[in-house]
Structure 1
Protein backbone atom coordinates (compact mmCIF):
# COMPACT_ATOMS: atom_id res chain seq x y z
CA UNK A 1 0.00 0.00 0.00
CA UNK A 2 1.09 3.54 -0.59
CA UNK A 3 0.36 4.94 2.84
CA UNK A 4 2.63 3.98 5.73
CA UNK A 5 1.43 0.76 7.28
CA UNK A 6 2.24 -1.64 10.04
CA UNK A 7 1.80 -5.34 9.40
CA UNK A 8 -0.33 -7.00 12.06
CA UNK A 9 1.18 -10.08 13.67
CA UNK A 10 0.09 -9.86 17.32
CA UNK A 11 -2.84 -12.26 17.73
CA UNK A 12 -4.18 -10.22 20.68
CA UNK A 13 -4.38 -7.09 18.54
CA UNK A 14 -6.02 -8.97 15.67
CA UNK A 15 -8.56 -10.62 17.97
CA UNK A 16 -9.31 -7.21 19.50
CA UNK A 17 -9.96 -5.76 16.05
CA UNK A 18 -11.98 -8.73 14.76
CA UNK A 19 -15.23 -7.49 16.26
CA UNK A 20 -18.11 -6.08 14.16
CA UNK A 21 -18.63 -3.08 16.46
CA UNK A 22 -14.93 -2.18 16.48
CA UNK A 23 -14.61 -2.38 12.71
CA UNK A 24 -17.72 -0.20 12.38
CA UNK A 25 -16.26 2.29 14.87
CA UNK A 26 -13.01 2.47 12.91
CA UNK A 27 -14.97 3.05 9.70
CA UNK A 28 -16.95 5.88 11.33
CA UNK A 29 -13.79 7.59 12.60
CA UNK A 30 -12.08 7.11 9.24
CA UNK A 31 -14.94 8.90 7.48
CA UNK A 32 -15.49 11.67 10.05
CA UNK A 33 -11.86 12.19 11.11
CA UNK A 34 -12.74 12.32 14.81
CA UNK A 35 -15.61 11.00 16.92
CA UNK A 36 -16.78 10.62 20.49
CA UNK A 37 -18.22 7.49 22.04
CA UNK A 38 -21.70 9.01 21.63
CA UNK A 39 -21.04 9.70 17.94
CA UNK A 40 -20.04 6.13 17.15
CA UNK A 41 -22.67 4.57 19.41
CA UNK A 42 -25.46 6.08 17.32
CA UNK A 43 -24.08 4.61 14.10
CA UNK A 44 -23.00 1.22 15.45
CA UNK A 45 -26.18 0.68 17.46
CA UNK A 46 -24.63 0.24 20.92
CA UNK A 47 -24.69 2.28 24.10
CA UNK A 48 -22.14 5.08 24.63
CA UNK A 49 -20.62 3.14 27.53
CA UNK A 50 -20.13 0.08 25.30
CA UNK A 51 -18.67 2.34 22.61
CA UNK A 52 -16.24 3.80 25.17
CA UNK A 53 -15.08 0.28 26.06
CA UNK A 54 -14.52 -0.63 22.40
CA UNK A 55 -12.65 2.64 21.78
CA UNK A 56 -10.36 1.95 24.74
CA UNK A 57 -9.64 -1.52 23.36
CA UNK A 58 -8.86 -0.07 19.93
CA UNK A 59 -6.55 2.46 21.59
CA UNK A 60 -4.83 -0.24 23.64
CA UNK A 61 -3.70 -1.95 20.43
CA UNK A 62 -2.83 1.23 18.56
CA UNK A 63 -5.74 1.65 16.15
CA UNK A 64 -7.12 4.92 17.56
CA UNK A 65 -5.77 7.66 19.81
CA UNK A 66 -6.91 10.75 21.67
CA UNK A 67 -7.71 13.77 19.52
CA UNK A 68 -7.60 17.40 20.67
CA UNK A 69 -10.88 18.16 22.49
CA UNK A 70 -13.64 20.13 20.80
CA UNK A 71 -16.19 22.50 22.31
CA UNK A 72 -16.30 22.23 26.08
CA UNK A 73 -14.24 19.05 25.98
CA UNK A 74 -16.56 17.16 28.30
CA UNK A 75 -16.48 14.03 26.15
CA UNK A 76 -13.30 12.30 25.04
CA UNK A 77 -12.57 12.70 21.33
CA UNK A 78 -10.86 9.98 19.28
CA UNK A 79 -9.10 9.83 15.93
CA UNK A 80 -7.48 7.04 13.93
CA UNK A 81 -3.74 6.69 14.17
CA UNK A 82 -1.91 8.15 11.18
CA UNK A 83 -0.32 4.80 10.39
CA UNK A 84 -2.46 2.34 8.44
CA UNK A 85 -2.35 -1.42 8.93
CA UNK A 86 -2.45 -4.57 6.87
CA UNK A 87 -2.72 -8.29 7.51
CA UNK A 88 -1.54 -11.14 5.32
CA UNK A 89 -0.91 -14.86 5.56
CA UNK A 90 2.71 -16.01 5.87
CA UNK A 91 3.97 -19.58 5.46
CA UNK A 92 5.73 -19.53 8.84
CA UNK A 93 2.78 -18.18 10.85
CA UNK A 94 2.33 -19.97 14.16
CA UNK A 95 -1.10 -21.64 14.56
CA UNK A 96 -2.36 -18.96 17.00
CA UNK A 97 -1.25 -16.18 14.65
CA UNK A 98 -2.75 -17.91 11.60
CA UNK A 99 -6.07 -18.44 13.38
CA UNK A 100 -6.21 -14.77 14.44
CA UNK A 101 -5.36 -13.62 10.89
CA UNK A 102 -8.02 -15.88 9.37
CA UNK A 103 -10.63 -14.57 11.81
CA UNK A 104 -9.76 -10.93 11.13
CA UNK A 105 -9.60 -11.33 7.34
CA UNK A 106 -12.95 -13.14 7.36
CA UNK A 107 -14.49 -10.40 9.51
CA UNK A 108 -13.18 -7.69 7.17
CA UNK A 109 -14.53 -9.53 4.11
CA UNK A 110 -17.92 -10.02 5.81
CA UNK A 111 -18.09 -6.31 6.69
CA UNK A 112 -17.18 -5.40 3.12
CA UNK A 113 -19.90 -7.74 1.80
CA UNK A 114 -22.42 -6.03 4.09
CA UNK A 115 -21.44 -2.65 2.57
CA UNK A 116 -22.07 -4.07 -0.91
CA UNK A 117 -25.49 -5.32 0.17
CA UNK A 118 -26.41 -1.91 1.57
CA UNK A 119 -25.24 -0.26 -1.66
CA UNK A 120 -27.28 -2.65 -3.81
CA UNK A 121 -30.36 -2.13 -1.68
CA UNK A 122 -30.21 1.65 -2.14
CA UNK A 123 -28.78 1.85 -5.67
CA UNK A 124 -32.14 2.62 -7.29
CA UNK A 125 -32.42 5.70 -5.08
CA UNK A 126 -29.01 7.07 -6.10
CA UNK A 127 -28.73 9.89 -8.65
CA UNK A 128 -28.16 8.72 -12.22
CA UNK A 129 -24.52 9.86 -12.30
CA UNK A 130 -23.73 7.69 -9.24
CA UNK A 131 -25.58 4.70 -10.68
CA UNK A 132 -23.59 5.08 -13.91
CA UNK A 133 -20.31 5.30 -11.96
CA UNK A 134 -21.04 2.21 -9.85
CA UNK A 135 -19.37 -1.05 -10.84
CA UNK A 136 -19.81 -4.57 -9.53
CA UNK A 137 -17.38 -6.74 -11.46
CA UNK A 138 -15.69 -10.10 -11.24
CA UNK A 139 -12.83 -11.01 -13.56
CA UNK A 140 -11.08 -14.36 -14.02
CA UNK A 141 -7.41 -13.78 -14.85
CA UNK A 142 -4.59 -15.90 -16.29
CA UNK A 143 -1.20 -14.66 -15.08
CA UNK A 144 1.83 -15.59 -13.01
CA UNK A 145 2.62 -14.44 -9.46
CA UNK A 146 4.85 -11.55 -10.57
CA UNK A 147 2.16 -10.28 -12.93
CA UNK A 148 -0.50 -10.52 -10.23
CA UNK A 149 1.70 -8.55 -7.84
CA UNK A 150 2.15 -5.96 -10.58
CA UNK A 151 -1.61 -5.71 -11.06
CA UNK A 152 -2.02 -5.10 -7.32
CA UNK A 153 0.61 -2.37 -7.40
CA UNK A 154 -1.06 -0.67 -10.37
CA UNK A 155 -4.46 -0.76 -8.66
CA UNK A 156 -2.91 0.64 -5.49
CA UNK A 157 -1.27 3.46 -7.43
CA UNK A 158 -4.51 4.25 -9.23
CA UNK A 159 -6.58 4.44 -6.03
CA UNK A 160 -4.01 6.24 -3.83
CA UNK A 161 -4.91 9.85 -4.82
CA UNK A 162 -8.53 9.22 -3.79
CA UNK A 163 -7.84 7.55 -0.43
CA UNK A 164 -9.93 9.10 2.34
CA UNK A 165 -6.83 9.01 4.56
CA UNK A 166 -4.70 10.95 2.07
CA UNK A 167 -6.91 13.29 0.09
CA UNK A 168 -7.35 16.89 1.16
CA UNK A 169 -11.13 17.11 1.22
CA UNK A 170 -11.05 20.85 0.65
CA UNK A 171 -9.41 20.17 -2.74
CA UNK A 172 -11.94 17.53 -3.83
CA UNK A 173 -14.55 18.50 -6.47
CA UNK A 174 -18.03 19.58 -5.42
CA UNK A 175 -20.27 16.56 -4.94
CA UNK A 176 -17.46 14.27 -3.75
CA UNK A 177 -18.62 11.70 -1.21
CA UNK A 178 -17.40 8.54 0.50
CA UNK A 179 -17.19 5.51 -1.78
CA UNK A 180 -15.51 2.11 -1.54
CA UNK A 181 -13.38 -0.08 -3.78
CA UNK A 182 -13.10 -3.77 -2.89
CA UNK A 183 -10.10 -5.44 -4.52
CA UNK A 184 -9.37 -9.13 -4.02
CA UNK A 185 -6.59 -10.83 -5.98
CA UNK A 186 -5.87 -14.48 -5.26
CA UNK A 187 -4.84 -17.70 -6.96
CA UNK A 188 -7.83 -19.98 -7.24
CA UNK A 189 -7.74 -23.01 -5.00
CA UNK A 190 -8.55 -26.32 -6.62
CA UNK A 191 -12.19 -27.28 -6.40
CA UNK A 192 -12.37 -30.78 -5.06
CA UNK A 193 -15.04 -32.95 -6.68
CA UNK A 194 -18.08 -33.56 -4.51
CA UNK A 195 -18.84 -36.87 -6.15
CA UNK A 196 -21.96 -37.85 -7.99
CA UNK A 197 -25.27 -37.86 -6.13
CA UNK A 198 -26.28 -41.30 -4.99
CA UNK A 199 -29.22 -42.92 -6.76
CA UNK A 200 -32.53 -43.34 -4.98
Structure 2
Protein backbone atom coordinates (compact mmCIF):
# COMPACT_ATOMS: atom_id res chain seq x y z
CA UNK A 1 0.00 0.00 0.00
CA UNK A 2 1.44 3.34 -0.97
CA UNK A 3 1.68 6.17 1.55
CA UNK A 4 -1.37 8.43 1.26
CA UNK A 5 -0.90 12.12 0.76
CA UNK A 6 -1.73 14.14 3.86
CA UNK A 7 -5.03 15.91 3.31
CA UNK A 8 -4.48 19.56 4.07
CA UNK A 9 -7.15 21.16 6.22
CA UNK A 10 -7.80 24.87 6.46
CA UNK A 11 -9.24 26.45 9.55
CA UNK A 12 -11.62 29.28 8.76
CA UNK A 13 -11.06 32.73 10.21
CA UNK A 14 -13.01 35.95 9.66
CA UNK A 15 -10.97 36.96 6.59
CA UNK A 16 -11.20 33.59 4.85
CA UNK A 17 -14.90 33.35 5.70
CA UNK A 18 -15.44 36.60 3.76
CA UNK A 19 -13.91 34.93 0.71
CA UNK A 20 -15.83 31.68 0.98
CA UNK A 21 -19.29 32.44 2.37
CA UNK A 22 -21.15 32.54 -0.95
CA UNK A 23 -23.17 29.58 -2.29
CA UNK A 24 -21.50 29.53 -5.72
CA UNK A 25 -18.00 29.83 -4.26
CA UNK A 26 -18.66 26.94 -1.94
CA UNK A 27 -20.00 24.87 -4.85
CA UNK A 28 -16.96 25.73 -6.98
CA UNK A 29 -14.58 24.71 -4.21
CA UNK A 30 -16.46 21.45 -3.65
CA UNK A 31 -16.36 20.67 -7.38
CA UNK A 32 -12.60 21.20 -7.50
CA UNK A 33 -12.07 19.06 -4.41
CA UNK A 34 -14.23 16.18 -5.61
CA UNK A 35 -13.49 16.20 -9.35
CA UNK A 36 -10.01 17.70 -9.55
CA UNK A 37 -8.66 20.63 -11.56
CA UNK A 38 -10.97 22.36 -14.04
CA UNK A 39 -11.43 25.54 -16.04
CA UNK A 40 -14.04 28.20 -15.32
CA UNK A 41 -15.96 27.05 -18.42
CA UNK A 42 -15.97 23.42 -17.32
CA UNK A 43 -17.17 24.40 -13.86
CA UNK A 44 -19.85 26.66 -15.36
CA UNK A 45 -21.19 23.74 -17.38
CA UNK A 46 -21.07 21.38 -14.38
CA UNK A 47 -22.88 23.84 -12.08
CA UNK A 48 -25.28 25.39 -14.60
CA UNK A 49 -23.77 28.87 -14.28
CA UNK A 50 -22.23 31.36 -16.70
CA UNK A 51 -18.49 31.16 -17.24
CA UNK A 52 -18.28 34.86 -16.32
CA UNK A 53 -19.78 34.13 -12.89
CA UNK A 54 -17.56 31.10 -12.27
CA UNK A 55 -14.48 33.01 -13.43
CA UNK A 56 -15.22 35.93 -11.09
CA UNK A 57 -15.87 33.71 -8.08
CA UNK A 58 -12.79 31.58 -8.77
CA UNK A 59 -10.68 34.74 -8.69
CA UNK A 60 -12.27 35.66 -5.35
CA UNK A 61 -11.50 32.20 -3.99
CA UNK A 62 -7.92 32.55 -5.23
CA UNK A 63 -7.56 35.95 -3.55
CA UNK A 64 -8.44 34.28 -0.25
CA UNK A 65 -6.18 31.27 -0.82
CA UNK A 66 -8.79 28.57 -1.42
CA UNK A 67 -7.88 27.83 -5.05
CA UNK A 68 -4.79 28.28 -7.19
CA UNK A 69 -3.65 27.83 -10.77
CA UNK A 70 -3.01 24.29 -11.95
CA UNK A 71 -0.29 25.27 -14.44
CA UNK A 72 0.52 21.71 -15.53
CA UNK A 73 -2.99 21.54 -17.02
CA UNK A 74 -3.15 24.88 -18.84
CA UNK A 75 -2.62 25.19 -22.57
CA UNK A 76 -2.24 28.65 -24.04
CA UNK A 77 -4.77 31.04 -22.55
CA UNK A 78 -6.77 28.28 -20.89
CA UNK A 79 -6.61 28.72 -17.12
CA UNK A 80 -7.03 25.67 -14.93
CA UNK A 81 -7.87 25.89 -11.23
CA UNK A 82 -7.31 23.48 -8.37
CA UNK A 83 -8.26 23.41 -4.69
CA UNK A 84 -5.48 24.31 -2.26
CA UNK A 85 -6.85 22.42 0.76
CA UNK A 86 -8.94 19.26 0.90
CA UNK A 87 -11.11 20.17 3.86
CA UNK A 88 -12.25 23.11 5.94
CA UNK A 89 -12.49 23.26 9.69
CA UNK A 90 -15.06 25.61 11.14
CA UNK A 91 -14.80 26.17 14.89
CA UNK A 92 -17.62 28.28 16.31
CA UNK A 93 -15.41 29.43 19.19
CA UNK A 94 -13.34 31.38 16.64
CA UNK A 95 -16.38 33.58 15.96
CA UNK A 96 -17.85 34.13 19.42
CA UNK A 97 -17.07 37.88 19.46
CA UNK A 98 -17.51 38.40 15.72
CA UNK A 99 -19.06 41.49 14.18
CA UNK A 100 -22.63 41.31 12.86
CA UNK A 101 -21.20 41.12 9.31
CA UNK A 102 -19.07 38.08 10.14
CA UNK A 103 -21.95 36.43 12.03
CA UNK A 104 -24.05 36.89 8.87
CA UNK A 105 -21.32 35.27 6.77
CA UNK A 106 -21.16 32.43 9.27
CA UNK A 107 -24.89 31.89 8.76
CA UNK A 108 -24.44 31.78 4.96
CA UNK A 109 -21.58 29.29 5.33
CA UNK A 110 -23.51 27.02 7.70
CA UNK A 111 -26.77 27.14 5.70
CA UNK A 112 -24.99 26.37 2.42
CA UNK A 113 -23.14 23.48 4.07
CA UNK A 114 -26.44 22.03 5.30
CA UNK A 115 -28.01 22.52 1.86
CA UNK A 116 -25.04 20.77 0.22
CA UNK A 117 -25.45 17.80 2.55
CA UNK A 118 -29.12 17.62 1.62
CA UNK A 119 -28.33 17.79 -2.12
CA UNK A 120 -25.70 15.05 -1.82
CA UNK A 121 -28.02 12.76 0.10
CA UNK A 122 -30.88 13.39 -2.36
CA UNK A 123 -28.53 12.63 -5.27
CA UNK A 124 -27.55 9.33 -3.64
CA UNK A 125 -31.17 8.37 -3.05
CA UNK A 126 -32.05 9.22 -6.66
CA UNK A 127 -29.18 7.15 -8.09
CA UNK A 128 -28.77 4.32 -5.59
CA UNK A 129 -30.33 1.77 -7.98
CA UNK A 130 -27.37 2.34 -10.34
CA UNK A 131 -24.93 0.98 -7.75
CA UNK A 132 -24.21 -2.64 -6.98
CA UNK A 133 -26.01 -4.40 -4.16
CA UNK A 134 -22.67 -4.50 -2.35
CA UNK A 135 -22.45 -0.69 -2.35
CA UNK A 136 -26.14 -0.31 -1.49
CA UNK A 137 -25.64 -2.57 1.52
CA UNK A 138 -22.51 -0.62 2.53
CA UNK A 139 -24.30 2.75 2.59
CA UNK A 140 -25.88 4.24 5.68
CA UNK A 141 -28.57 6.76 6.49
CA UNK A 142 -29.18 6.58 10.19
CA UNK A 143 -29.73 8.83 13.15
CA UNK A 144 -29.46 8.53 16.91
CA UNK A 145 -30.45 10.56 19.91
CA UNK A 146 -28.38 10.44 23.10
CA UNK A 147 -28.11 12.65 26.16
CA UNK A 148 -24.67 14.29 26.44
CA UNK A 149 -22.94 17.22 28.09
CA UNK A 150 -21.06 19.71 25.87
CA UNK A 151 -17.78 18.07 26.95
CA UNK A 152 -19.01 14.60 26.00
CA UNK A 153 -20.36 15.94 22.68
CA UNK A 154 -16.95 17.45 21.87
CA UNK A 155 -15.29 14.16 22.83
CA UNK A 156 -17.64 12.20 20.56
CA UNK A 157 -16.97 14.55 17.64
CA UNK A 158 -13.22 14.18 18.15
CA UNK A 159 -13.50 10.39 18.19
CA UNK A 160 -15.67 10.34 15.06
CA UNK A 161 -13.17 12.53 13.19
CA UNK A 162 -10.26 10.39 14.38
CA UNK A 163 -12.05 7.25 13.20
CA UNK A 164 -12.69 8.76 9.77
CA UNK A 165 -9.06 9.90 9.55
CA UNK A 166 -7.97 6.33 10.36
CA UNK A 167 -9.68 5.17 7.14
CA UNK A 168 -7.92 7.72 4.91
CA UNK A 169 -5.28 6.05 2.81
CA UNK A 170 -6.33 2.46 3.51
CA UNK A 171 -7.16 2.14 -0.19
CA UNK A 172 -3.99 3.12 -2.02
CA UNK A 173 -5.46 4.65 -5.19
CA UNK A 174 -8.48 4.96 -7.46
CA UNK A 175 -7.41 1.89 -9.47
CA UNK A 176 -8.08 -0.45 -6.54
CA UNK A 177 -10.92 -2.79 -7.59
CA UNK A 178 -14.36 -1.86 -6.21
CA UNK A 179 -13.03 1.35 -4.59
CA UNK A 180 -15.11 4.52 -4.81
CA UNK A 181 -15.00 7.90 -3.15
CA UNK A 182 -17.57 8.08 -0.36
CA UNK A 183 -19.10 11.06 1.42
CA UNK A 184 -19.54 11.00 5.17
CA UNK A 185 -21.80 13.55 6.80
CA UNK A 186 -21.80 13.97 10.54
CA UNK A 187 -24.08 16.31 12.39
CA UNK A 188 -24.23 16.70 16.14
CA UNK A 189 -26.48 19.35 17.66
CA UNK A 190 -28.75 19.79 20.68
CA UNK A 191 -32.51 19.50 20.22
CA UNK A 192 -35.50 20.84 22.12
CA UNK A 193 -37.14 18.08 24.15
CA UNK A 194 -40.38 19.80 25.18
Using structure 2 for the length normalisation, give the TM-score.
0.82
Contact 2:40 2:58 in 1 (8 A): yes
Contact 1:69 1:76 in 2 (8 A): no
- Note the residue ranges of structure 2 that are not aligned, 5 or more in a row: 1-5
| 2:116 matches 1:130 | no
| 2:44 matches 1:38 | no
RMSD over aligned Cα atoms: 2.6
Deviation at 1:71, TM superposition (A): 5.9
Deviation at 1:8, TM superposition (A): 2.1
1:92 to 79, 83, 97: 97
Within-5 A mapping of 1:180-199 = 180-188=183-191, 190=192
Contact 1:88 1:101 in 2 (8 A): no
SS at match of 1:178: coil
| 2:68 matches 1:28 | no
| 2:85 matches 1:79 | no
2:110 maps to what in 1? Answer: 105
Count the aligned residue pairs. 187
Contact 2:43 2:54 in 1 (8 A): yes
- Note the residue ranges of structure 1 that are not aligned, 5 or more in a row: 193-200
1:18 maps to what in 2? Answer: 21
Task: Please say which structure displays the higher CA radius of gyration.
Answer: 1
| 2:152 matches 1:147 | yes
| 2:72 matches 1:63 | no
Measured in 1, the distance between the counterparts of 2:158 and 2:111 equals: 23
CA deviation map 1:68-94 (0-9, x unaligned): 232634311111113743223233233
Contact 2:22 2:108 in 1 (8 A): no
Measured in 1, the distance between the counterparts of 2:165 and 2:125 equals: 25
SS at match of 1:113: helix
